[in-house]
Amino acid sequence: MFSIFKRDPAKKLKKQYFAKLEQAMLAQRKGDIRTYSLLTAEAGEIDKPISNLMES
């Protein structure tokens, strides 16, 4: 009945995920490929729980 008041648990994770991807993009533009790859890997780790939440 009150499901409209429940918070979306994936919303915070999605925000972190897109922030990491943006940081990675900026690092790539600067030519810092090592930081780009590290940030992309971190974004991938954040994406795993998001996909688990979406499946259930």
Q: What is the pLDDT of residues 19-44, one digit of tens each?
A: 999 999 999 999 999 999 999 999 99
pTM of the model: 0.81
Per-residue model confidence (pLDDT) at position 1: 54
Q: Residue 24: which of 38, 45, 44 has the closest Cα?
A: 38
Q: Give the residue with greater pLDDT, 36 vs 6.
A: 36
pLDDT band at 2 (very low <50, low <70, confident <90, very high): low
Q: Rounded mean pLDDT of the chain?
A: 91
Q: What is the dihedral of CA 33, 36, 41, 46, to 10 degrees?
A: 180
User: What whole-number distance in Å separates Cα of residue 24 and Cα of residue 39?
Assistant: 5
